[in-house]
Amino acid sequence: MKRIIKLVIWTIVLGGLGYFAYTKLGQNKTKLETDAKLTQERNTVIPVVTGKVEMATMSGEFNVVGNFAPYQQVAVMSETAGKIITLNVENGSTVQAGATLLTVDNDLLKIQLETTKTNLAKAENDLARLQKLLGEGGVTQQQIDDAKLGIANLKQQIKASEKQISMSYVKAPISGVVTGKMVEKGSLIAPAMQLATITNISRLKMQVYLTEDQVVTIKKGQRISMQADLFQGKKFEGTVTFIDVNAGSARRYLVEIEILNTGDNLKAGMTGTVFFKGGSTRQVLSVPREAIVGSLQDAKIYVIENGKAILRPVVTGDVFDSHVQVKDGVKEGEPIVVSGQINLEDGMEINIAGE
C-alpha cells in the first residue's frame, strides 16, 4: 500500500514539473517572437547620414592607380616531340635571346641527314655519268631529267632534316628571366607543349585605365611621373608608349607608360600611382565617394524621395579628391544617402541622423 502511494506521489510531482517546464518554454518562445517583431518594426526605419549632389571644381591634374606589367613575356613552346637530353636553365635563370635552353634527342634525325647526304652524293655522280652517255646515245633525255628530279628531292629532304634538327634545340625567343619551368631532363615533350616562360623586366609598362575626359589630355611620347606603392617617396619617370583607341567594357581606355627598371627593383604585378598633369580645370557634378554603392563601373546611389531611399543607377566619371564625377542619373541639389547604406534596401523609409 505504501509503495502505491509513493508511486502516485512521484507521478504527480513529475507531471507538475513537466507542466511547469512546458509552460515556461511556451512563455519564452512567445517573448522571443515578440522581441523579433519589435526588432523588425524598429528596423523598418533606417538612420542615415545625407548629403547633396553638388558642383565641384575638378583640377586638370589627376592621379590614377595602375599595375606594373613586364615589358615582354613569352611562353616557350616545343616545336618537336622527343625526350629532353640536356636542360640548361632553372627557374630564375637569366638568359639572352638565342641561348639554347634545352635539347631534345636528335640522334635519329642526324643519322637520317647523313644517309640523305650520302644518297645525294651518289645521285650527283650518277647524273654526271648519264650526261656523258647522253652525247653517245646511250641514255635518253628523260633519264637525265629523272636523275635531276631525284637530286632535287634529296636536297629538299636534307633541308627538312636540318630544320627538324634545329627545332630539337629550344632557344630563348627573348632576353629575360626564366619562370614557370614545366619540364625536367628526361621529360618527354610533344609539339605545341609549353616548356617555360621568359619574362623581361629590364623595362616595365605601367598600365592604367583612363576615362574619356582624362585620356584626351595626354599624348603618346609624353613624360609622366609615377610612384610605386612599395617605394613611398621615390618617383619614377616614364614615357607614354600606347593609348588604346577602343574603350573597354568599363568605358575606360588602356594607357601604357614605359619606364626603365634600374636594378630590377620593381617587379611585374606591383601597384603604383601615376601623376598626370596638363588638363584643364572645370566644374563637374559630383557626389562624395562614400555615397557610391557598388563599383564605379556599375555605380548606384540612394536618392531620398518622400522620406524613402530610392536606389538609382548612375554613370560615373573621374575620381578626384574624395569625390566622384557623376555624368548621368542625378541632378544638382538632389539629397542622397552618404552613410548608412549597408542596412538599406531600395524603397525603405529612412531617418536622417540629427533630426
Q: Which helix (H) or strand (E) element contains residue 52?
A: strand 45-52
Q: C-alpha angle 292/295/301, rounded to 5°?
A: 25
Q: Are 275 and 257 in contact (CB under 8 A)?
A: no
**Amino acid 160: pLDDT:** 95
Question: 122: which residues sit within 8 A by CB, 6+ positions away?
Answer: none
**Amino acid 211: pLDDT:** 85
At the fourth CATH level, which superfamily is domain 63-71+201-276?
A: Efflux pump adaptor protein, beta barrel domain (2.40.30.170)
**Amino acid 121: pLDDT:** 94
**Amino acid 165: pLDDT:** 96
Q: Does domain 46-60+282-352 have CATH number 3.30.70.260?
A: no
Tens digit of each residue's pLDDT (9 = 90 or more) over 51-83: 889 998 877 778 889 999 999 999 999 999 999
d(CA 86, CA 218): 50
d(CA 217, CA 229): 25
d(CA 53, CA 61): 22
- Of 277 and 187, the structure prediction assigns the larger pLDDT to 187
Task: Return mean pLDDT, the chain.
Answer: 86
**Amino acid 12: pLDDT:** 65
pTM for the complete prediction? 0.65
Give which of 197, 198, 196, 183 is closest to 82, Cα–Cα. 183
d(CA 239, CA 220): 8
- Of 13 and 214, the structure prediction assigns the larger pLDDT to 214
- Of 8 and 220, the structure prediction assigns the larger pLDDT to 220
First to last CA, the chain: 77
**Amino acid 179: pLDDT:** 93
Tens digit of each residue's pLDDT (9 = 90 or more) over 134-162: 766 677 888 889 999 999 999 999 999 99
pLDDT over threshold 70, residue 43: no
CA 129 to chain centre: 68
- Of 48 and 4, the structure prediction assigns the larger pLDDT to 48
**Amino acid 38: pLDDT:** 45
**Amino acid 104: pLDDT:** 97
| Residue whose entry in the numeric block shows the C-alpha cell 630539337 | 168
**Amino acid 189: pLDDT:** 95
Question: 236: which residues sit within 8 A by CB, 6+ positions away?
Answer: 225, 226, 227, 228, 259, 266, 272
Between strands 169-171 and 100-104, the pairing is antiparallel
pLDDT over threshold 80, residue 16: no
d(CA 263, CA 223): 21
**Amino acid 183: pLDDT:** 95
- High-pLDDT (> 70) share of the chain, %: 85
**Amino acid 42: pLDDT:** 46
**Amino acid 345: pLDDT:** 86
pLDDT over threshold 60, residue 22: no
Q: Are 279 and 62 in contact (CB under 8 A)?
A: yes
**pLDDT average, residue stretch 213-224:** 90
d(CA 178, CA 331): 55
Nearest-Å Rg of the Cα atoms of the chain is 40
pLDDT over threshold 60, residue 274: yes
Ranking 10-19, 117-126, 231-240, 255-264 by mean pLDDT, the lowest is: 10-19
**Amino acid 90: pLDDT:** 95
**Amino acid 86: pLDDT:** 96
**Amino acid 301: pLDDT:** 92
**Amino acid 1: pLDDT:** 56
pLDDT over threshold 60, residue 166: yes
Tens digit of each residue's pLDDT (9 = 90 or more) over 79-103: 999 999 999 999 999 999 999 999 9
